[in-house]
Amino acid sequence: MPLQPTVEADFCFAEADPFRLDCGEEISPVRLHYAMYGTPNARRDNVVLVCHALSGSARVADWWEEMFGDGRPFDTSRLCIVCANVLGSCYGSTGPRDLDRRTGRPYGASFPVITIGDNVRAQALLMDHLGVDRLRVVIGGSIGGMQALDWAIRFPERVERCIAIGACPISAMSLALGHLQRQAILSDPAWRGGDYEPDAQPVRGLALARAIAMCTYKSPELFDKRFGRKPNRNGEEPDKRLADRFDVGGYLDYQGEIFVRRFDANSYLVISKGMDLFDLGATPEQERQNLSRITARVTLIGISSDWLFPPEQVRSLAERMKQVGVRVEYLEQHSDHGHDAFLADANDLARMLGPL
Amino acid sequence: MPLQPTVEADFCFAEADPFRLDCGEEISPVRLHYAMYGTPNARRDNVVLVCHALSGSARVADWWEEMFGDGRPFDTSRLCIVCANVLGSCYGSTGPRDLDRRTGRPYGASFPVITIGDNVRAQALLMDHLGVDRLRVVIGGSIGGMQALDWAIRFPERVERCIAIGACPISAMSLALGHLQRQAILSDPAWRGGDYEPDAQPVRGLALARAIAMCTYKSPELFDKRFGRKPNRNGEEPDKRLADRFDVGGYLDYQGEIFVRRFDANSYLVISKGMDLFDLGATPEQERQNLSRITARVTLIGISSDWLFPPEQVRSLAERMKQVGVRVEYLEQHSDHGHDAFLADANDLARMLGPL
Q: List pLDDT tens digits, range A27-44.
A: 999 999 999 999 999 999
By C-alpha distance, the chain A residue nearest B266 is: A242
Collect all residues of chain B within an 8 Å Cβ-Cβ radius of residue A306: none
What does the pLDDT read at residue B198? Answer: 86
Cα B116 to Cα B122: distance, rounded to the nearest angstrom: 10
Model pTM? Answer: 0.96
End-to-end CA distance of chain A: 24
Query: Is B220–A172 a contact, with Cβ atoms under 8 angstroms apart?
Result: yes
Collect all residues of chain B within an 8 Å Cβ-Cβ radius of residue A246: 172, 175, 179, 276
> What fold is seen in the domain B7-169+278-353?
Rossmann fold (3.40.50)
Q: List pLDDT tens digits, range A216-260.
A: 999 999 999 999 999 999 999 999 999 999 999 999 999 999 999
Instruction: Give yes or no for B107 touching A (CB within 8 A).
Output: no
> Does B1 score more than 90 pLDDT?
no
Cα A89 to Cα A33: distance, rounded to the nearest angstrom: 10
Cα A103 to Cα A28: distance, rounded to the nearest angstrom: 12
Query: Is B246–A113 a contact, with Cβ atoms under 8 angstroms apart?
Result: no
Please, which pLDDT band fits residue B327 given cuts at 50, 70 and 90?
A: very high
Q: B315: closest CA among B167, B116, B105, B126? A: B167
Residue B327 and residue B297 in contact, taking contact as beta carbons nearer than 8 Å: yes
Residue A334 and residue A199 in contact, taking contact as beta carbons nearer than 8 Å: no
Instruction: Give yes or no for B279 touching A (CB within 8 A).
Output: yes
> Does A97 score more than 90 pLDDT?
yes
What does the pLDDT read at residue A351? Answer: 98
Please, which pLDDT band fits residue B96 given cuts at 50, 70 and 90?
A: very high
> Does A1 score more than 90 pLDDT?
no
Within chain A, where are the H helices?
Answer: 60-63, 116-130, 143-154, 172-186, 203-217, 220-226, 247-260, 265-277, 284-291, 311-323, 341-344, 346-353
List C-alpha distances in Å: B63 to A180, B59, B346, B350.
26, 7, 10, 13
Instruction: Give yes or no for B205 touching A (CB within 8 A).
Output: yes
A279 CA: distance to closest CA in chain B (Å): 9
Within chain B, where are the H helices?
Answer: 60-63, 116-129, 143-154, 172-186, 203-217, 220-226, 247-260, 265-277, 284-291, 311-323, 341-344, 346-353
Mean pLDDT of B81-95: 98
Q: List pLDDT tens digits, range B250-293.
A: 999 999 999 999 999 999 999 999 999 999 999 999 999 999 99
Catalytic, A142? Answer yes
Question: Phi/psi at B213 (nearest 5 deg)?
Answer: -60, -40
> Does A198 score more than 90 pLDDT?
no
Query: Is B172–A24 a contact, with Cβ atoms under 8 angstroms apart?
Result: no
Residue ranges of chain B that CATH labels 3.40.50.1820? 7-169+278-353
Instruction: Give yes or no for B257 touching A (CB within 8 A).
Output: no
Q: What number of CA atoms fall less than 13 Å from residue A180's CA on the CB side?
A: 34
Instruction: Give yes or no for B193 touching A (CB within 8 A).
Output: no
Residue A38 and residue A68 in contact, taking contact as beta carbons nearer than 8 Å: no
Among A168, A182, A187, A233, pick the best mutation site for testing chain B contact (most B Cβ within 10 A).
Answer: A187
Percent over 90 (pLDDT), chain A:
99
Q: List pLDDT tens digits, range B112-137.
A: 999 999 999 999 999 999 999 999 99
Residue ranges of chain A that CATH labels 1.10.1740.110? 174-271
Query: Measured at the alpha carbon of residue B100, what is the angle toward residues B96 and B106, in degrees to the nearest 5?
Result: 50
Query: Is A176–B23 a contact, with Cβ atoms under 8 angstroms apart?
Result: no
- Domain B174-271's class? mainly alpha
Long-range contacts of B279-282 (CB under 8 A, 24+ apart): B279/A229, B279/B169, B280/B149, B280/B153, B280/B169, B280/B317
Q: B122: closest CA among B207, B197, B191, B33? A: B33
By C-alpha distance, the chain B residue nearest A246 is: B175
Catalytic, A267? Answer no
Collect all residues of chain A within an 8 Å Cβ-Cβ radius of residue B187: 184, 188, 204-205, 207-208
Collect all residues of chain B within an 8 Å Cβ-Cβ radius of residue A228: 171-172
> What is chain A's mean pLDDT, rounded?
97
Mean pLDDT of B56-75: 98
Q: List pLDDT tens digits, range A55-65.
A: 999 999 999 99
What does the pLDDT read at residue A331? Answer: 98
By C-alpha distance, the chain B residue nearest A173 is: B220
Query: Is A175–B279 a contact, with Cβ atoms under 8 angstroms apart?
Result: no
Instruction: Give yes or no for B354 touching A (CB within 8 A).
Output: no
Q: List pLDDT tens digits, range A137-170.
A: 999 999 999 999 999 999 999 999 999 999 999 9
What does the pLDDT read at residue B330? Answer: 98
Mean pLDDT of A333-353: 97
What does the pLDDT read at residue B334? Answer: 98
